[in-house]
Structure 1
Amino acid sequence: MTLDKKVQILVCGGGNGAHCLAGLASLRPNAEVSVLTLYADEAERWTKVLVDKKLKISATYNDGTNGELESRPKLITKDPASVVPNADIIFMVVPAFAHQQYLTEIAKHIKDNTVIVGLPGQAGFEFQCLSILGNKAKTCAVSSFESLPWACRILEFGCHVQILGFKESLGAALLQGSQCTLSAPAFDTIQWILGEKPKIKPIQNYIAVNLMAKSIIHPPLMYGQWSKWNGQSLDEKPLFYQGVDDLQASLLSKVSDEVVATAKAIEQQRSGIDMKDVIHILDWYKEYYRYQVTDSSNLMKAMQTNKAYDGLLHPMKPAGDGKYVPDFSYRYTAEDVPFGLVVMKGIAQIAGVATPVMDEVITWAQGKLGKEYLVGSELKGKDLPSSRAPQSYNFHTLDDLFNV
């Protein structure tokens, strides 16, 4: 892809993914990249680091080779007014719980024909965008990706990020406002920014992408690991993905079955709606991590042998004496339940699909979070409005979901 004019790219966030995207996007000719981070003094710290350094990306490619790239964003700031009005495309590379803060801060500055990208959006991203943007949504386009394009981590804040693996492909949907006119197809521009991998797979409708969000992975694994925990501290932090056992894999597989059943029910009830891209989680690993997974004979093996997951550990917190206990306030539960499973449960409820295993996981997780989303098998808990379930935005029927 070649562009005749400079593209103004805004990366929102200061974590692993934001570092990675800011570095990669800054490599593109005719791209001008700014970073907006609202967290504490992060913008000031990052700016100081890059005074005499560049942002280095150490990448492990899917063919097993390694490489290093260097670049530098034009500006890093905490002031939305200084960067949002010029942005052609805005990437939200922050945890789902932070989307509301960022969207609220940038909404009044967004110009017409801007593309807002959730990378990843996580379940319910579009509901929240439409709610916060209001009438401005008619002049914008909102895109949500099913997951982050890479497994990555910061090695040194502000100046060194590591890509452990690139996904082969990545599903994304686009909601374009009735008064929005884009100068180039949104996915062509995003592909140019990301590079060759992952290959963007356009998904027909945004509800499918909500059901494809990979926030289904963490809560079942957390539940399988810790539901029978006796409260004793551990000497070491256990492996997260590579430590998956039969129980955890079975729970995740059954939750995935319920999501696929929801997609099929919607397809049967709505003519012209294509949900074929909502696939079982094992099939997803086989497709998206085909070069990183060495044994895809079953879900447990696929997760244990995924090279992109090397060394990743359960979220733990110190318990004293050098020991650890699980951190249930980490995003694997605090984010992936209200902005993941609860949203999928809400869609399933609208489609009339029972989700007993998902309900079991949500019930356990909400207890650990001190929240109430689910009462029995119904989404009617007191904390439901703080989630991104469609019911929180007054969507109660399939017509509500598809007539946005």
Structure 2
Amino acid sequence: MTKKITVLVCGGGNGAHVTAGLAASRDDIETRVLTTFSDEAERWTNIMKENDLRITVDEGDIKSGESVDFKVKLNCITKDPSKAVPGADVIIFTVPAFAHQSYLEAIEPYIQPNTTIVGMPGQPGFEFQVFDVLKDKAKQCVVMSFESLPWACRIAEFGKFVQILMVKVNLMGCIIRGQSKPSYDPMEAVQRVMGKAPILTQANNYIEPILATKSIIHPPIMYGKWKDWDGKPIEKKPLFYQGLDEEQARYLGGISDELVATAKAIAAQKPEVDLSGVLHLYDWYLRDHKPYIKDTTSLLTVLQTDTAYDGLVHPMKETEDGKFVPDFRYRYLTEDVPNGLVVTKGLAQIAGVPTPFHDEVIAWCQKQLGKDIIVGDELKGKDIGSTRCPQRYGINTMDALVNIM
């Protein structure tokens, strides 16, 4: 008989609605929600007094091909971590990376040994932050981080109705078990929440997903597109992926080259660290997006002809006269630079790998963000503390990187 577990979902957005709804639909899971944003917990609790949470899966069940539509009741939604955390077996973070620090600080006093802490998505540097905030307590926990949300989803009506638009087939994550000895299988427990899909797979180690991250895609495309912009509004929003040109593809490919080189350098210095899952971005697209790609000639043609990206445009702000200017405070920079590109640069710096493409893109991005992160080719700016690069946490050597426990 499967052991009943208690799952705590942190957050109140799209992903939290789906995660909580799926967990609550399982007979062997007790579900709780912790949302510290404003009065969100109170609002959602009041909604649940007279309504159920409805979840629809528009693409249908992976096995049967039939659509899924069900309702659940959430009985514990709170902003008080003292009520939510004690007794929780699995704590799933479904909030943007910028909110991880505050949630970790909120749960820290109540964390118990053998708890599983899951970043979904964790994004690069999640593990560093968990160990920094939870300190010795983290060593008694299981720390897991997945590369993205398991689905594309959206709230149709807060607290009442959330739609799953697309379910990913596979999702890779890492596990750091530390000194923990949970009475349940952590990966099985998270898979139980997800259901049949996506199929969760385990990376060889925590470094592999960082160097295989897709958080490095947006910043170089933004840089290549807007580095020479004259500041004048434009008539229409340009396509993001399918509007890629040779200059943008050069930066994107160059950064991916540097990640592959970093993986090779780490493996050469630490042969026990298996980084075989770190693929060049071009090879990753051919593996995971092949059904959507019309021209596989190069990284440039792959993105230009990837139908999964149909219609997706650059993040833009509309001007008073109906024209558009780029939005440099969108998550493509605010999230993917401090919790993506700067983290991979940090690993490369430890491995001794030159990163001219990283350096050039980060230097431009930090100006748009009003930050001082990189100085020349080193991460030593005064705003390092706003990122999750290993250097922020005092991790500066290969031994420290490999043995973060």
What's the TM-score once normalised by structure 1's chain length? 0.92
Match of 1:188 in 2: 188
Match of 1:43 in 2: 41
Match of 1:231 in 2: 231
Match of 1:113 in 2: 114
Q: Cα distance 1:28–1:53, how it changes in 2: closer, same or farther (>3 A)?
A: closer
Residue by residue over 1:355-384, the C-alpha shift from the partner in whole angstroms, topping out at 9 and shown as x without a partner, is 111111101100100101111111111111
Match of 1:160 in 2: 161
Match of 1:28 in 2: 26
* Matches of 2:167 and 2:256, distance apart in 1: 23
* Matches of 2:250 and 2:168, distance apart in 1: 24
**Aligned counterpart for 2:17 among listed residues 16, 19, 22:** 19
Residue by residue over 1:12-56, the C-alpha shift from the partner in whole angstroms, topping out at 9 and shown as x without a partner, is 112222222222222222112222111122223333444324232
* Matches of 2:63 and 2:318, distance apart in 1: 38
Alpha-carbon shift at residue 233 of structure 1 (Å): 2.1
Alpha-carbon shift at residue 328 of structure 1 (Å): 1.1
Match of 2:381 in 1: 381
Match of 2:275 in 1: 275
CA RMSD of aligned residues (A): 2.3
* Matches of 2:279 and 2:78, distance apart in 1: 39
Match of 1:253 in 2: 253
Match of 2:317 in 1: 317
The answer (yes or no) to whether the contact 1:167–1:288 under 8 Å persists in 2 is no
- Give the aligned residue type for 1:390: P
Q: Cα distance 1:75–1:121, how it changes in 2: closer, same or farther (>3 A)?
A: same
Q: Cα distance 1:290–1:152, how it changes in 2: closer, same or farther (>3 A)?
A: farther
Secondary structure at 1:9's aligned position in 2? Answer: strand
* Matches of 1:245 and 1:116, distance apart in 2: 40
Q: Cα distance 1:341–1:301, how it changes in 2: closer, same or farther (>3 A)?
A: same
Query: Which structure 2 residues correspond to residues 323-338 of structure 1 after superposition, within 5 A?
Result: 323-338=323-338
- Give the aligned residue type for 1:52: N
Q: Cα distance 1:167–1:31, how it changes in 2: closer, same or farther (>3 A)?
A: same
Alpha-carbon shift at residue 353 of structure 1 (Å): 0.4
Secondary structure at 1:4's aligned position in 2? Answer: coil
Match of 2:284 in 1: 284
Match of 1:104 in 2: 105
**1:356 paired to 2:356:** yes
Residue by residue over 1:153-178, the C-alpha shift from the partner in whole angstroms, topping out at 9 and shown as x without a partner, is 33333333333333332221111122
* Matches of 2:362 and 2:279, distance apart in 1: 21
Alpha-carbon shift at residue 102 of structure 1 (Å): 0.6
* Matches of 1:250 and 1:197, distance apart in 2: 35
Match of 1:138 in 2: 139
* Matches of 1:37 and 1:120, distance apart in 2: 17
**1:56 paired to 2:60:** no
Q: Cα distance 1:57–1:249, how it changes in 2: closer, same or farther (>3 A)?
A: farther
Alpha-carbon shift at residue 235 of structure 1 (Å): 3.9
Secondary structure at 1:320's aligned position in 2? Answer: coil
Percent sequence identity over aligned pairs: 51
Q: Cα distance 1:236–1:193, how it changes in 2: closer, same or farther (>3 A)?
A: same
Between stretches 344-353 and 19-28, larger displacement belongs to 19-28
* Matches of 1:303 and 1:315, distance apart in 2: 17
Secondary structure at 2:32's aligned position in 1? Answer: strand
**1:346 paired to 2:346:** yes
The answer (yes or no) to whether the contact 1:154–1:161 under 8 Å persists in 2 is yes
* Matches of 2:178 and 2:116, distance apart in 1: 10
Alpha-carbon shift at residue 108 of structure 1 (Å): 0.8
The answer (yes or no) to whether the contact 2:21–2:53 under 8 Å persists in 1 is no
- Give the aligned residue type for 1:20: V
The total of aligned residue pairs comes to: 401
Alpha-carbon shift at residue 228 of structure 1 (Å): 2.2
Secondary structure at 1:113's aligned position in 2? Answer: coil
Residue by residue over 1:305-330, the C-alpha shift from the partner in whole angstroms, topping out at 9 and shown as x without a partner, is 54544444322223223333222112
Q: Cα distance 1:15–1:353, how it changes in 2: closer, same or farther (>3 A)?
A: same
Secondary structure at 2:215's aligned position in 1? Answer: helix
* Matches of 1:256 and 1:390, distance apart in 2: 19
* Matches of 1:17 and 1:247, distance apart in 2: 34
Which runs of no fewer than 5 residues in structure 2 stay unpaired?
none
Between stretches 354-363 and 286-295, larger displacement belongs to 286-295
The answer (yes or no) to whether the contact 1:150–1:164 under 8 Å persists in 2 is yes
